Amino acid sequence: MVLGQKRGLRLIQPMPIFKINNKKLENIKETKIDVEKDIQILTENNLVTIFGLKVVSTEFALSNLRIDTLAYNEEAKSFVIIEYKRDRSFSVIDQGYAYLGLMLNNKADFILEYNEKMSSNLKRDDIDWSQSRVIFIANSFTTYQEKALNFKDLPIELWEVKKYDNLTILYNQLKSADSSESIKTVSKNKTVESVSREVKKYSIEDHFKSEWKESRELFDILREKILALGDNIEEKPNRNYTSYKIGYYLLVGVHPYRSKLDLHMPKDKDDLKDPDNKVIKIPWEKRGWGKTCYYMLTKPEEIDYAMFLIKQVYQALNKN
């Protein structure tokens, strides 16, 4: 299985994929796949591996709508709706916001479904509804559907899936060029307006108050160094912090404050080389989501030590 991203304009002719056989290249052919059946089963069976999500329910029906896969993001504490499409005529905006509107208008039903399927006791306040999102999966999308992504605050993702004759599966996220336009400024749809009041796609600017100049300077320097580690690193601003990931694996979460940054890493303190003993151990009962320790960054001269720690996590992730 391969995960990828594609930004900006689509190539007119897709590049062929090859395998090496006795120093010669052999073309790997794409094979037919039933998105609405085969891919749903494959995706749900491997949802943690592909998206880092937990399956809650399959074919969840509510108010005359049926959700193919209802998933839960433990890191963001939010629900994710996944839809598999064979017909390319659907509207990304209309259907995406219809599903989000369904969720926000029926929160109790989604919580009940989670608690019954997961044998849990999740409460309404445990969920960050602002991080809700919809994922559409299809063999391909139209140019019109891709252009629908050209809004900075769209809580919708498009993923192409391809199957090849060497048993390789490609999940490729389509990403448009950065846009400053908000969906709220161009749409008069009541569902879009209602959902947009509660669901938010966060940006780095949301994390810093205007007077937080010290921490913003630290962040800008650190951000450049983290992204320079490799092309496989993705930046994802969340509600209270910015995460840097390789696939769905967390590399580091950067939590900003007025004059410092807390760098949370998915490791136990004892798993990192820390000659200056600067890494802070987080008690087990306060971790919430797996192994975590953190380093407090307060001044520019500490950035090199921060990168020394982050590189250890990066190297460990790239060995997997």
| pLDDT at site 201 | 85
The answer to whether residues 35 and 139 touch, using CB atoms and an 8 Å cutoff, is yes
Say how far apart CA 57 and CA 71 lie, in whole Å. Answer: 7
Q: Are strands 156-164 and 30-31 parallel, antiparallel or unpaired?
A: antiparallel
Longest dimension (CA), the chain: 61
pTM recorded for the entire structure: 0.83
Nearest in space to 157 (alpha carbons), one of 252, 240, 71: 71
Say how far apart CA 22 and CA 249 lie, in whole Å. Answer: 34
| pLDDT at site 13 | 46
| pLDDT at site 165 | 87
Over the Cα atoms of the chain, what is R_g? 21
| pLDDT at site 151 | 83
| pLDDT at site 320 | 60
3-state secondary structure of 96: helix
Q: What are phi and psi of 99, to 5 degrees?
A: -70, -40
List, in order of start, the domains of the chain with CATH numbers: 2-196 (no CATH), 204-319 (3.90.1150)
| pLDDT at site 35 | 67
pLDDT along the chain (320 residues), means of 10: 52 66 88 80 94 95 92 94 90 93 95 95 92 94 88 90 88 78 75 89 91 96 96 91 91 96 93 95 62 91 97 89
